[in-house]
């Protein structure tokens, strides 16, 4: 019954701000966070079989520093913080990467599960982001499992983030502790979602444990 071995993947994209303002403890906390997510997923047999991870960083431009890979084959990239906050370039790259990497449904065969996207930024975009967001939404808007944006620090522009997604979290500062909690939450969200593939839920989207106490749903808008 099992002749055709196609595996449905749960793609997870991490979009990480590596602009100069993240230098020091924040970028190290982000680095640790990515490593922690990877370690935790390696300990979860559901995630090992289904989750595929990719990292896109953005500063002066955007770069896919880790292509979509299974948890076993994923290598956490080394992050360096310098430059501007080219959020638009990151969204454009995400759009291209998703078009290239994701396997769509075809007749009789189901493609990948809907991807999860986690965006982390501590500043206002320094490039022309609106057209990129519009194109992304047009291309992939209805095929996303969840898109969570975390804005941290006082320079972040939550209106920009709300233009990208409804799921916006806001953190007042970029302490390592707060970032660590964010990554913990991301990790458990991914694990929950990967497990639900088997348990066949009745609703789509992200089913995550309650947010950690330092995080607040942004009510500024």
Partner 1 sequence: MPPVVHLIVDSRGWSSPPDLDILAALLEARLRGLAPLEVQVRSLEESWAAQLPQAEAIALLILARPLAQGWQAALQAWLSERHLLYVAFFDGAALSDLSQLAALTAQQPVPRAPYRLAAQTSQQLDAAFAWFEKLLQKLQPTFVPEAPLPPIRMMTTRWRNLPSNAQDAFAYPDQLTRSMRGARGYSLLGASTRGRTHAHHGTFRDDAFALGATAHWNILAVADGAGSAALARVGSNLVVESAVAAIQERAPASPTPEDLGRAIWTGLEAAYQALFSFAGAEHLPVSDLNTTLQLLVHFPLDTSCYVGVVHIGDGLVVAESVDGQIYALTEPDTDPDDDGRTLFLTSAPLNQWKRRAKVYQFDERLDIVALMTDGLSGDLEVRDELLRTNLFGKLRERVLCYPLHLRASALLSLISYERRGSFDDRTLAVLARD
Interacting residue ranges for partner 1, rule: CB under 8 A: 1-9, 24-25, 28-29, 31-32, 42-43, 45-46, 48-50, 72, 78, 105, 107-110, 113-114, 142-143, 145, 175-177, 180, 195-205
What's the closest the beta carbon of residue 196 comes to partner 1, in angstroms? 7
- Give backbone dihedrals phi and psi of 66, rounded to 5 degrees, phi first: -135, 115
User: What gap in Å lies between CA 214 and CA 221, rounded to an integer?
Assistant: 19
What is the side-by-side order of every strand in the sheet holding 146-152?
A: 62-70, 51-58, 10-17, 116-121, 146-152, 167-171, 216-217
If the CB atoms of residues 42 and 134 are measured against partner 1, the closer one turns out to be 42
Query: Closer CB to partner 1, residue 124 or residue 197?
Result: 197
The pairing of beta strand 146-152 with beta strand 10-17? unpaired
Minimal distance, residue 157 CB to partner 1, in Å: 26
Residue nearer to partner 1 on the CB measure, 203 or 210 = 203
Least CB distance to partner 1 at residue 20 (A) = 16
Closer CB to partner 1, residue 199 or residue 213?
199
* Structure-token pair, residue 173: 């500062």
Contact 52, 14 (CB under 8 A): no
CB of 133 to partner 1, least distance (A): 22
Q: How far is the CB of 64 from partner 1 (least distance, A)?
A: 21
CB nearer to partner 1: pick between 32 and 96: 32
């Amino acid at each position: 019954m099992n002749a055709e071995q196609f595996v449905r993947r749960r793609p997870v994209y991490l979009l990480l701000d590596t602009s100069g303002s993240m230098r020091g403890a924040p970028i190290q906390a982000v680095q640790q966070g990515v490593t922690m997510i990877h370690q935790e997923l390696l300990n979860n047999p559901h995630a090992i079989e289904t989750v595929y991870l990719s990292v896109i960083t953005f500063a002066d431009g955007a770069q896919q520093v880790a292509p979509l890979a299974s948890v076993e084959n994923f290598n956490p990239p080394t992050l360096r913080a310098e430059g501007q906050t080219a959020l638009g370039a990151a969204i454009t790259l995400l759009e291209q990467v998703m078009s290239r990497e994701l396997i769509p449904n075809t007749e009789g065969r189901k493609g990948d599960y809907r991807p999860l996207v986690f965006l982390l930024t501590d500043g206002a975009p320094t490039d022309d982001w609106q057209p990129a967001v519009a194109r992304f939404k047009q291309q992939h808007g209805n095929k996303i499992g969840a898109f969570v944006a975390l804005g941290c620090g006082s320079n972040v522009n939550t209106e920009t983030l709300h233009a990208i997604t409804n799921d916006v979290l806001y953190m007042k500062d970029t302490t390592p502790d707060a970032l660590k909690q964010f990554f913990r939450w991301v990790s458990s969200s991914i694990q929950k979602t990967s497990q639900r593939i088997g348990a066949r839920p009745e609703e789509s989207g992200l089913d995550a444990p309650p947010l950690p106490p330092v995080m607040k749903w942004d009510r500024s808008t």
